[in-house]
A and B are shown apart, each in its own frame.
Chain A
Amino acid sequence: MSAPNVPGQPSPANPGDQPDPVRGVPAGAAPDADTMALRRPPAQSGAARPAGANPTDGPAPPPRSPAGDSAAVGRGAPAGGVAPGGRSPWHPAMLFTPARLRQLGALVLVGLLAAVVTGPTGNSDEPLQAAWDSIADPRIVLFLILAVALWVVLVLWAELRGVLTRLTAPVRAPVGAAYGRRGAPIVLNVVLLAIAIIAPQVVSTAAQQSMVTDIGIYALLALGLNVVVGYAGLLDLGYIAFFAIGAYTTAYFTSQSAMPWHAPFTLNPFFVFPIALVLAALAGVILGAPTLRLRGDYLAIVTLGFGEIIHLVANNADGITNGARGAFGVPHLSVHLLGLDYTWGIDPKPYYYLLLAIVVLVMIAFGRLERSRIGRAWAAIREDEVAAEATGVATLRLKLLAFAIGASVSGFAGVMFASKQFFNPQSFSLQASFFVVAVVIFGGMGSRLGVVVGAVVLQGLAFYLRDKVEPADRYIYFGAVIVIMMIFRPQGLVPSRRRRREIELSEAGIGSADSLGSAPAGGRP
């Protein structure tokens, strides 16, 4: 909620005589100078709707969804004049208002940037040559056409939307009805699971490999980070460090030769799962306990530093971890029990199915957790930490719990990863941590299905780009994806309904949507 009532802040005069603390989206926010914000928040178009300004009014209902706010798309004055039905008197001169032209300019710049991103690779001897070559290339025409086309779509969005609505109406009604029926989500889940089961049978071995080590492992990692980011509303930027802990723990316990440092005995990798789980959770608690007392954003930077240290140690401690060469020869997973003998070998498919089973189990487990008192308490912490504490929620402990659960999933995934293949510290770089964040954000924080879909789509994109661009260049695209999602769709691709509501409400000034403290204050123009 709004800052005045945060405990510890001097407020000798009661700040809240207005019965509702809602800080309405500022009326008359400067409507110019913002060519990047293609979507205007709904509340701004009805700017004089500060929820709860009238004492008997109460907070306004949740803002309409962005998509439902056709008139607010684009910044130009003409957009406001378009009637909901799209039958307004429309004039070509409306295209050339300053706001529209700025929008066009921004899109052209984005087009140029896209040309540079996808253009040739440069070097430091001729630093601007590559950028210039990208822009001077005939391809630029394509990008400019795309930019202008996008602009036209945005300008005509109100009309286009009307047409689309009319065209899809006959299809949407029955689909909507079918989805609304009881049991429909179950059917959907069964279909998705069936696809996941059949998928490896129809793709190449390279793709199967990728489905295990990239999609499967990252889906698991994302499910764990989702507990931290999506449920507890915190940010962990060193998440991959726990993954590394899991992997190195596996090497330590299962092999006498993988690393110079090893246990005096060897264990079956399956026994390492619980050990890694506990160790990673412990590391999480040790790291989180002192930091979580402070502002939430400090956790982000401390975890960032921790991630880098683990990477640094893994890379440099030749006598312990084998340094940059990595750990060779960690045995594959195997079962020898009651006459059952099975080893997960070179073939990626058995690993895939094992991972799929684990991912599904983790999804079910976290679904239960989310619907339990613990999940509700996390929601309370996200939405109003002060009120949660006053309602008896041990906020610190629950944040720590989320952090530890996230860490343990990461450690668990590390065991899986280590027993699948050779690994070296490169797998535990900072960028890997950022990538997991990207997966969670892109998929939809707080949404279990969302983060798995995020792993599939982003790793699918990475797999698709693998022969087309330098491996490291792929992170340009991931970075762009993160920024674009934050600007246009912070709730993610497959949003959690609750998280979406929280984001919308907090942007309208009601409650918050994370546990990092109130939204940056100076920001509201």
Chain B
Amino acid sequence: MGFLDQFWQLTIDGLMVGSLYAVIALGYTLVYGVLQLINFAHSEVFMLGSFGGLFVARALLPGDGSVPGGLESVGLVAIGLGAGAICGGLAALTLERVAYRPLRRRSAPRLAYLISAIGASLFAVNLAGKEFGRQNVDLPDLFHNGTVFKLFGADVSTQSLVIFAVAIAMLVGLDRLVAGTRLGQGIRAVAQDADTAVLMGVDVERIIIVTFIVGGLLAGAGGFLYAMTFNASYSMGFVPGVKAFTAAVLGGIGNVRGAMLGGLLLGLVESYGGYLFQASYKDVIAFLVLVAILMIRPSGLLGERLGRAA
């Protein structure tokens, strides 16, 4: 079959994966927005959230291997998402507290943050490997995964629909949060000018913590969605992490809507590219996209400012 025959199927798959990248990318973008810092350990927040959601959902499944349906499925997915989000949020909070806050207290140079994040990442990955084993962990089906409807001849599965819907709901929710609430106002204020924000009475410390938590909640929930589609493993964070970062840069790091756009675009590019070239080099595509943007338009498609984004 040619590329054109597969086009819509590839598009649907790309959007599904892309929406996951977008969800993770938001964590990078939010933290970058308020701290001008690449949170290298964000991929581990994603990984821990993924495990958390997976373990909780698996524990609640009937032990007989049957696939639940109806409301039961909805409940399981919701609980898994919640558990993943909570684990992600807790992981992000711990990360901020242990690896970043002591450095912020003494205004350490930027290099120190990057290195500290790498240390934390190394620690978390391998501790997870030790505690949960180093094999892939599968999540049994939480619902019957069939074709819901056909779009231009391509199958839209229940799974892609669930993932896409949940991801989009989270993206819209976050956009509303940043654009329309007092908390979002604080985040934007800190992103634009932390020093002035302090003078205006914004509690920067609190905003930073909340930003980490929000990023962690999203990454954790995204991790559960990822585990539902693929599987979970201690080293699962790295590749989606780099891709999500690429998505964030593609859209303009620090820019919330940019991260969403970047995630979806990257998902599509990768889906098409993986088909046209060799699938095992799919991961290379994201990296090439990253280098290309950095060379052509380093401020990303929508520009870099969180404050301007929403």
Q: What is the interface of chain A, defined by CB distance below 8 A to chain B?
A: 23, 25, 29-30, 34, 36-37, 40-41, 44, 116-117, 121-124, 127-128, 130-131, 229, 233, 235, 237, 290-291, 293-294, 296-298, 300-302, 304-306, 308-309, 312, 316, 430-431, 434, 437-438, 441, 470, 472-473, 475-476, 478-483, 485-487, 490, 503, 506-507, 509, 512-514, 516-525
Tell me whether B164 is interfacial, beta carbon within 8 Å: no
Contact call A122/B36, Cβ cutoff below 8 A = no
Interface of A is mostly: helix
CB of A381 to closest CB in B, whole Å: 13
Contact call B35/A520, Cβ cutoff below 8 A = yes
**In the complex the two chains form, what is the Cα distance from A485 to B194 in whole Å?**
27
Across the interface, which residues of B come within 8 angstroms of A36, CB to CB? 97-98, 101-102
11 contacts between A and B (CB under 8 A): A122-B133, A229-B111, A290-B291, A316-B281, A430-B238, A476-B123, A476-B130, A486-B112, A507-B106, A509-B107, A520-B35
Tell me whether B290 is interfacial, beta carbon within 8 Å: yes
Across the interface, which residues of A come within 8 angstroms of B102, CB to CB? 34, 36-37, 487
Contact call B283/A473, Cβ cutoff below 8 A = no
**In the complex the two chains form, what is the Cα distance from A25 to B104 in whole Å?**
11
Partner of B122, one of A306, A312, A478, A524: A478
Partner of A519, one of B34, B110, B122, B287: B110
Contact call A290/B115, Cβ cutoff below 8 A = no
Contact with A along B96-126 (1 / 0, CB 8 A): 0111111111111111111110111111111
Contact call B122/A522, Cβ cutoff below 8 A = no
Q: What is the interface of chain B, defined by CB distance below 8 A to chain A?
A: 34-38, 40, 51, 55, 97-116, 118-127, 129-135, 137, 190-191, 194-195, 197, 204-205, 207-208, 238, 242, 245, 249, 280-281, 283-284, 286-287, 290-291, 294-295, 298
Contact call B118/A525, Cβ cutoff below 8 A = no
Apart from A34-B105, A523-B35, 14 more pairs, CB < 8 Å: A25-B106, A302-B291, A473-B126, A475-B126, A476-B122, A476-B127, A479-B123, A481-B119, A483-B120, A487-B116, A503-B112, A516-B110, A521-B194, A525-B104
Across the interface, which residues of B come within 8 angstroms of A123, CB to CB? 132-133
Contact call B194/A482, Cβ cutoff below 8 A = no
Across the interface, which residues of A come within 8 angstroms of B35, CB to CB? 520-523
Closest to A516 in B: B110
Closest to A234 in B: B111
Contact call B126/A309, Cβ cutoff below 8 A = no
**In the complex the two chains form, what is the Cα distance from A308 to B283 in whole Å?**
9
Contact call B242/A304, Cβ cutoff below 8 A = yes
Contact call B287/A308, Cβ cutoff below 8 A = yes
Contact call A476/B126, Cβ cutoff below 8 A = yes
Contact call A507/B101, Cβ cutoff below 8 A = no
CB of A125 to closest CB in B, whole Å: 8
CB of B235 to closest CB in A, whole Å: 9
Contact call A475/B281, Cβ cutoff below 8 A = no
Partner of A482, one of B107, B122, B125, B204: B122
Across the interface, which residues of A come within 8 angstroms of B242, CB to CB? 301, 304-305, 308
Contact call B105/A483, Cβ cutoff below 8 A = no
Contact call B103/A487, Cβ cutoff below 8 A = yes
Contact call A305/B290, Cβ cutoff below 8 A = yes
CB of B233 to closest CB in A, whole Å: 9
Given contacts A486-B119, A522-B207, contact A298 B294 (CB under 8 A): yes
**In the complex the two chains form, what is the Cα distance from A312 to B99 in whole Å?**
30
Closest to B99 in A: A483
**In the complex the two chains form, what is the Cα distance from A92 to B135 in whole Å?**
51
Partner of A486, one of B40, B51, B115, B191: B115
CB of B279 to closest CB in A, whole Å: 11
Across the interface, which residues of B come within 8 angstroms of A485, CB to CB? 119
Partner of A520, one of B55, B97, B104: B104
Across the interface, which residues of A come within 8 angstroms of B36, CB to CB? 517-518, 520-522
Contact call A490/B108, Cβ cutoff below 8 A = yes
Residue from B114, B115, B116, B124 with most neighbouring chain A CB atoms (10 Å): B115
Contact call B107/A524, Cβ cutoff below 8 A = yes
Contact call A479/B287, Cβ cutoff below 8 A = no
Contact call B130/A312, Cβ cutoff below 8 A = no
Residue from A40, A116, A127 with most neighbouring chain B CB atoms (10 Å): A127
The 10 closest A-B pairs by CB, nearest first: A482-B119, A479-B123, A479-B122, A523-B104, A514-B111, A522-B194, A305-B287, A486-B116, A41-B106, A483-B119
**In the complex the two chains form, what is the Cα distance from A521 to B204 in whole Å?**
10
Given contacts A297-B114, A490-B112, A522-B208, contact A431 B294 (CB under 8 A): no
**In the complex the two chains form, what is the Cα distance from A121 to B133 in whole Å?**
8
Across the interface, which residues of A come within 8 angstroms of B124, CB to CB? 479
**In the complex the two chains form, what is the Cα distance from A235 to B195 in whole Å?**
27
